[in-house]
Amino acid sequence: MKLHPDLEKILIDEASIQQRVKEIAAEITRDYAGRSVLMICTLRGAVMFFADLVKYIDLDVRMDFIACSSYGAGTSSSGEVKIVKDISQPIAGLDVIVVEDIIDTGHTLKYLYNMLLNRGPASLKICSLLDKPERREVELEGDYVGFKVPNEFVVGYGLDYNEKYRNLPMVGVLKPEVYAK
């Protein structure tokens, strides 16, 4: 695949992403065998990962969506988490997996995790395509993680910069001059 002109390099190619998505789906299928699971997609970054993931989970899967914001239009978290769209159903007594695009500082996901935990699910797990442990500022680990990535600004496969690059089928590193403008 041709390198997008705004990318410095491709970090994870499309074939590697699809292979790992199938592996994670198999892990979830095994771990929840005989049970149903509610998958909650964090909008908008996790949509591509979420859509591919649920196709390969061989269980009774229910889906819901939540949108949180702590970034605005910049490249770093504002620190204040806002729920822009909440899930549409009660989760008490359900097995729940939150599907995220990336675990970065962890602030937003920790807030979301605690909020959902207070609603009484039978279990609550985190599934993330990417994990950037060098940036972690709170204690938080994903239960299902696709790839660990270095502390670089990544875009593609749902991840964006100013709402661009989400549609790229791979994950790449954005050139610094693109987001330094």
Cα distances from 114 to residues 8, 109, 119, 177, in angstroms, run: 36, 9, 9, 37
- Residue 1: the pLDDT is 64
Under 8 Å between Cβ of 134 and 152: no
CA dihedral 74, 16, 136, 122 (to 10 degrees): 110
Judge whether 131 counts as a catalytic residue: no
- Residue 69: the pLDDT is 79
Please report where in the chains the tokens 């994990």 appear, as a residue: 131
Report d(CA 73, CA 83) in Å as an integer: 16
- Residue 2: the pLDDT is 75
Q: Which of 52, 95, 101, 104 is catalytic?
A: 104
- Residue 180: the pLDDT is 80
Phi-psi category of residue 72: left, alpha or beta, with phi > 0 → left and psi -120 to 50 → alpha: left
The strand ranges marked E within the chain are 7-12, 36-43, 60-69, 82-85, 95-103, 123-131, 144-148, 154-155, 171-174
Reference 106, options 139, 75, 66; nearest CA is 139
Please report where in the chains the tokens 């994870």 appear, as a residue: 12
The pTM is what? Answer: 0.92
Per-residue pLDDT of the chain (181 residues; tens, 9 = 90+): 678 899 999 999 999 999 999 999 999 999 999 999 999 999 999 999 999 999 999 999 999 999 987 755 555 555 678 899 999 999 999 999 999 999 999 999 999 999 999 999 999 999 999 999 999 999 999 999 999 999 999 999 999 999 999 999 999 999 999 988 6
